[in-house]
């Protein structure tokens, strides 16, 4: 029975999160500051959730840092996401053998 309550609460919470902006903001948002703020929120939240997970994923900070450096360099060079992810994983894996 508690699982059904949990699912119902999450359904209501998810619905409210999606419904409230439609009811509060009926007109187009014209403020450049507020529009840019809303534009960057998903990137900031994704970064805040991903960055800590990167450094604790391998169990060794050094291998995580090496993988992150490889990922940042390859992303800066504008390589495809799959290449960046695979190369960073391979670099962290290889660094694990030497550290």
Express each pLDDT in 55-75 by its tens digit: 988 889 999 999 999 999 999
* Segment 39-44 mean pLDDT: 91
What integer pLDDT is reported at residue 63 of this predicted model?
95
25: pLDDT strictly greater than 80: no
Quick check: pTM over 0.75? no
> Domain spans of the chain?
28-98
5: pLDDT strictly greater than 90: yes
Assign 3-class secondary structure to the chain.
Answer: CHHHHHHHHHHHHHHHHHHHHHHHCCCCCCCHHHHHHHHHHHHHHHHHHHHHHHHHCCCCHHHHHHHHHHHHHHHHCCCCHHHHHHHHHHHHHHHHHHC
* Segment 25-36 mean pLDDT: 86
* Segment 5-26 mean pLDDT: 89
């Amino acid at each position: 029975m508690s699982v059904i309550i949990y699912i119902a609460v999450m359904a209501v919470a998810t619905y409210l999160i999606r419904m409230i902006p439609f009811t509060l903001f009926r007109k187009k948002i014209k403020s450049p500051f507020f529009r840019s703020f809303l534009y960057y929120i998903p990137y900031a939240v994704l970064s805040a959730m991903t960055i800590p997970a990167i450094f604790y994923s391998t169990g060794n900070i050094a291998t995580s840092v090496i993988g992150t450096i490889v990922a940042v360099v390859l992303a800066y060079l504008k390589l495809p996401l799959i290449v960046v992810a695979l190369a960073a994983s391979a670099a962290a894996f290889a660094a694990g053998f030497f550290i």
